[in-house]
Amino acid sequence: MLVREKARAAEPTAGPVAGRAAKVWMTRTRRTDLMAGAVLSVLAFAGLFPYLFMLAASVKDNEQFYESYWAPAWPIRLGNYAVAWEQVSPYLFTSFVVAGFAIVGTLALASAAAFVFARYRFPGRNLLFGLVAALLMVPAVTSLIPLFVLMRDLDILDTRLVLIIPHITGNTVFGIVIMRTYMAQIPEEIFEAARVDGAGGIRMFVSLMMPLARPVVGTVALVTVLGVWNDYFWPLLTVQTDEFRTIPAGLAFFANQNVQQWGPLFAGYTLASLPLLLMFTFLSKWFLAGIQGGIVSGK
């Protein structure tokens, strides 16, 4: 009885204390959430600001550009995009061609090699894969001169082929490493069941492995396109014909021709950025899944 009376006597005082503690905790949590939201908003604005500035500048004439440097101006000059498209469209076409062939070649070589490394056991498999992975640590600049000499001896300088081959060879190593790591995590029971049904290696690769490996395929494809879109020095070194220039080298040439025409210049930058933005928007889910599956939880 004495214990119950003490417990009842303590209840009125415990209630307000617990209530105040809960209110303090909720207040602190709310403040933390607000601070986190404010910091993330500032970071998001800082990341988006260059794109917003580029978009606003792309629809200005020179007078509007100097008078209203940071803010949008009215009326908008959509004619800047017509001027930019006339100059940039050949560069976009070449970039799409190079990226398309680079994606096909990289995925064909990397996926086949990764499938062999992941699903077949043979002497020296781990050693060979380690040597392939070690190539990722070799700086690309060290192979620049030998690669240029090879392309010159093959007589393919100043062609689209000289742009395609280095991207295939360069991205295949990365593709093998990340795709092999992803494929090794797929349960072996699936392939054992396929073997029981009479499926051979090629059929398992085409019908089972490639559909299951779509996230990492999207990752390799996106990385390959990013490499083509960001490659400035190699096209500048190996290509002289204007129509064979890719976007980075072409935009540099376009900028030299339009030093005082800021509107068309920023319109060209906007047109060059759109394919990457759209591609990342549609492939971001696969890209993140491939990175998480191929690296974070890799074997």
Q: What is the pLDDT of residues 35-61, one digit of tens each?
A: 888 888 888 888 888 888 888 888 988
Asked whether the predicted pLDDT for residue 290 surpasses 60, the reply is no
Determine, yes or no, domain membership for 73. Answer: no
Summary mean pLDDT of the chain: 83
Residue 22 identity (one-letter amino acid): A
Instruction: Kindly report each contact of residues 52-55 with a partner whose C-beta sits within 8 Å and lies 24 or more positions away, as own/partner.
Output: 54/266, 54/269, 54/270, 54/273, 55/266, 55/270
CB 110 within 8 A of CB 177: no
Q: Tell me whether residue 76 is in a domain.
A: no
Domain check: are 114 and 240 in the same one? yes
What secondary structure, in 3-state letters, does 9-69 show?
Answer: HHHHHHHHHHHHHHHHHHHHHHHHHHHHHHHHHHHHHHHHHHHHHHHHHCCCCHHHHHHCC
When pLDDT is averaged across residues 246-252 and rounded to a whole number, the result is: 89
Structural domain contains residue 67: no
Asked if 231 and 122 sit in the same domain, the reply is yes
Mean pLDDT along residues 266-277:
89
State whether 16 and 160 are in the same domain.
Answer: no
Residue 157 inside a domain? The answer is yes
Residue 27 pLDDT class (50, 70, 90 cuts): confident
Assess whether 20 and 159 both reside in one domain.
no
In a domain, 39, yes or no: yes
3-state helix, strand, coil in the chain (%, to 5): 80, 0, 20
If pLDDT is split at 50, 70 and 90, which confidence band does 258 have? low
Residue 42: inside a domain, yes or no? yes
Task: Please tell me whether residues 246 and 123 are part of one structural domain.
Answer: yes
At residue 286, the pLDDT reads 66
Instruction: Let me know if residue 170 belongs to a domain.
Output: yes
The answer to the question of residue 71 being in a domain is: no
DSSP letter assigned to residue 162: H
Question: Do 125 and 242 reside in the same domain of the chain?
Answer: yes
More confident residue, 212 or 30: 212
pLDDT at 124 > cutoff 80: yes
176, 50: one domain: no
Which pTM value belongs to this model?
A: 0.80
Kindly state whether residues 110 and 242 are assigned to the same domain: yes
Higher per-residue pLDDT: 284 or 30: 30
Q: What is the rounded average pLDDT of the residues 115-139?
A: 90
- Counted residue by residue, the chain has a size of 299
Report the pLDDT value the prediction gives residue 200, as an integer from 0 to 100.
Answer: 84
Q: In this structure, are 89 and 52 located in the same domain?
A: no
Section 247-265 average pLDDT:
82
Q: What local confidence, expressed as pLDDT, does residue 293 receive?
A: 54
* Confidence band, pLDDT 50/70/90 cuts, at residue 6: very low
| Lowest mean per-residue pLDDT among 20-24, 67-71, 197-201, 282-286 | 20-24
pLDDT range class, residue 298, cuts 50, 70, 90? very low
Q: What is the pLDDT of residue 192?
A: 87
- The number of distinct structural domains making up the chain is 2
Same domain, yes or no: 110 and 144: yes
Range of the domain at 280: 81-296
Residues 158 and 268 in one domain: yes
State whether 31 and 110 are in the same domain. no
pLDDT above 90 coverage of the chain, percent: 30
Q: Domain holding 87: CATH number?
A: 1.10.3720.10
